[in-house]
A and B are shown apart, each in its own frame.
Chain A
Amino acid sequence: MKTTKHHSGELSFEGILWLAFFCLIAATVIAIIQFYNVRNPASGKGFDITQSYNLILTNMREDSQIAAVAEPASDSVTLLDCNSDLVSRYALTGGQLQRFDNQGTSLVLLERVESASFTTDENLKNLLTVKILPSDPMDIPFFTSFALRGINNDLN
């Protein structure tokens, strides 16, 4: 009769295979979570802020193609087309930068924002300059400008 020896602390070969199997499952779960974080700009910890900045850049570039006038306020800006119809509105509310389209639908572009300013130059009204300071001082600020092309579409 064949007997098997089981010592305490030893792991059977099947046990090792199970452990390896669970490690692979964990790797898959982590991959899925990280993929979700990369795709979701509003997600939090460990997220690269440039992903959210890309979202702001894309939305503002699209809006500036049809906007002719920018009406900046202290922490918001309203973009109007050449017929004075609303294109979109960007506002800082409760530490979130949000975009409101002409239907009033809101989209959170960036969270944890300390301040946001939208300005136009006295001599260059068709240039909207955007400055956004994130709450985390280790993150870069967002600073760039957008030419409002709604008046002169030859510029595109």
Chain B
Amino acid sequence: MELLLALAVLSAAMYPIVFIFRIGSPPRQSNQQEYMATLLAHHVVETIVAKRAQDPSYLPAMSYSEPVVQSAEHVEPVSQYFRTISPSGESITENDDSQLFWSLKPYKCQIDTYYLDESLFKAIVYITYQKEGRTMKVFFERLLPQKNFQTRTEGEE
């Protein structure tokens, strides 16, 4: 009886330790996958912002889901936002930088650009990757005002 009581009390007392260890070590791989996708989406949005600083009329072209690195497995072209990121000024291949290549290989990039209203466009950057057979998607949105859009359209007419 005393032994059972000891086990019961000690089990209850040990539970907080087990629980703290469990919550203290979150699933690292899934977090890092999602984080990497977020960094890539950030890269694309910042590239769009920089291009618009040079040319305020720049709008990102819509694209299908395209790989971000060049590999033999991908038949699609590399996304235009990742074509000049290697030290040689081209897209990353396994020979350039293997650690970065294998980290970026699971990801694909897709751009959707919509006309909203009142000379306002919206670009949505999707970064997709596979996790346990499911397609996961991280997306960033960016509103792109076109100050000269109406004027230019009227001028063309």
Report which A residues bind B (CB closer than 8 A).
10-11, 13, 16-17, 19-21, 23-24, 26-27, 30-31, 34, 46, 48-50, 53, 57, 117, 119, 121-122, 124, 126-127, 129, 131, 133, 137, 139-149, 151-152, 155
Contacts and interface: CB of A to CB of B under 8 A. Distances in A.
Contacts, number: 112
A23 B13 contact: yes
Nearest to B6: A16
The interface size bin for chain B is 35 or more
Secondary structure type dominating chain B contacts? helix
Given A23-B13, A31-B20, A140-B33, 17 more contacts: A11-B6, A13-B5, A16-B5, A24-B13, A30-B24, A34-B20, A48-B32, A57-B42, A117-B87, A121-B84, A129-B43, A129-B85, A140-B36, A140-B103, A141-B100, A145-B50, A147-B49
Contacts of A147: 46-47, 49-50, 53
Contact of B53 (A10, A19, A117, A151): A151
Q: Which 3 A-B pairs have CB atoms at the shortest separation, nearest pair first?
A: A23-B13, A127-B50, A20-B13
B84 A48 contact: no
